[in-house]
């Protein structure tokens, strides 16, 4: 299994080979594929569409993996920005909303 350092080196090599814009384009494409995969999964589970299609979940997992790779790559490109601090701030806000909602439900 590749460790984080090895994955980051792969992103750097890819960027040298194809350029930064191609990497952004790939990320946009993968995110679009994830949107489609989520919608298909939702339609299968909620509306019982795609009955004969057994690849819906498999495809969703593939696209989650693709976008996870893209996000790691984007985090690597934007490593000078404090993304973990932004995540922490957003999670604290999210937790506050959950706590408020739970209080209202009691």
Q: Which residues bind Mg ion (CB under 5 A)?
A: 30, 33, 66
Task: Decide if 76 contacts 8 (C-beta within 8 A).
Answer: yes
Smallest distance, Å, CB 63 to Mg ion? 5
61 or 98: CB nearest Mg ion = 61
Give me the residue label for tokens 């993304």: 83
Integer Cα distance of 67 and 49 in angstroms? 25
Smallest distance, Å, CB 37 to Mg ion? 8
Backbone angles phi, psi at 55, to 5 degrees: -100, 0
DSSP E strands: which ranges in the chain? none
11 or 30: CB nearest Mg ion = 30
23 or 30: CB nearest Mg ion = 30
Smallest distance, Å, CB 21 to Mg ion? 19
């Amino acid at each position: 299994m590749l460790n984080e350092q090895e994955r980051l080196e792969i992103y750097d090599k890819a960027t040298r080979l194809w350029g930064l814009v191609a990497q952004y384009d790939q990320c946009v494409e993968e995110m679009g594929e994830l949107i489609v995969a989520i919608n298909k999964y939702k339609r299968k589970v909620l509306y019982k569409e795609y009955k004969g299609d057994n690849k819906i979940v498999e495809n969703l997992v593939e696209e989650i993996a693709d976008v996870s790779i893209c996000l790691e790559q984007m985090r690597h490109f934007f490593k000078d920005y404090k993304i973990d601090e932004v995540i922490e701030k957003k999670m604290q806000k999210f937790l506050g909303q959950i706590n408020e909602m739970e209080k209202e439900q009691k």
